[in-house]
Amino acid sequence: MTDVSNKKESILFYEREFYVFSNFSSFAIEWDGKLYMTSEHVYHSEKFQDEEMKELIRKTRSAHDAFKLAHANEDKYRPDWNDVRIGIMKKILHVKVSQHPYVKKKLLQSGDRELIEDSWRDNFWGWGPDKDGANHLGKLWMEVRAEVINNE
């Protein structure tokens, strides 16, 4: 594996070497005493206050299924979701790093490079089809990286 920590090019993660940063990557997360298959599962379960719906999402067989089930029930999202989603995602990323040494290793290997979720679909969490999206997931990963480095 190439050490990329000194290279200044952006790291585009979605389905590349740094796929570990994707919420669809196969790293189980223990969250509130329960095991979730991916961070995507955790994120979508947090959209709901109803424990039954949270559990249905937790038990879906894939990140894609968790995504689909949550979106099919958008009318049941917690009322403050848009206000809390970025903070919740940041907590999920911290948990992912703390529970998976390999994810932490890849995060530290990214050095000071810009992290971009190379999603052509999502211009909120990624940079979207026109590469001008908000890239909130990439920005949060960079915040988490800085916090991990400061706590080393």
Contact 44, 57 (CB under 8 A): yes
What is the secondary structure of 12-45 as a DSSP string?
EESSSTTGGGSTTSS--EEETTEEESSHHHHHHH
Reported pTM: 0.88
Q: What integer pLDDT is reported at residue 119 of this predicted model?
A: 83
What the block records as the tokens of 52 is 């039954």
> Going from the N-terminus, what domains does the chain have, and what CATH number goes with each?
1-26+100-152 (1.10.357.40), 28-83 (no CATH)
Q: Which segments of the chain have a pLDDT < 70?
A: 1-8, 11-17
**To 5 degrees, how large is the angle CA 9–CA 14–CA 20?**
90
Pairing, β 29-31 against β 34-36: antiparallel
60: which residues sit within 8 A by CB, 6+ positions away? 37, 41, 66, 69
Q: Which of 31, 10, 34 is nearest to 118 (CA)?
A: 10
CB atoms within 10 A of CB 68: 14
pLDDT in tens, 119-138: 888 899 998 888 899 999 99
pLDDT at 5: 42
What residue spans of 7-135 are helical by DSSP H? 39-45, 51-58, 63-72, 81-99, 101-109
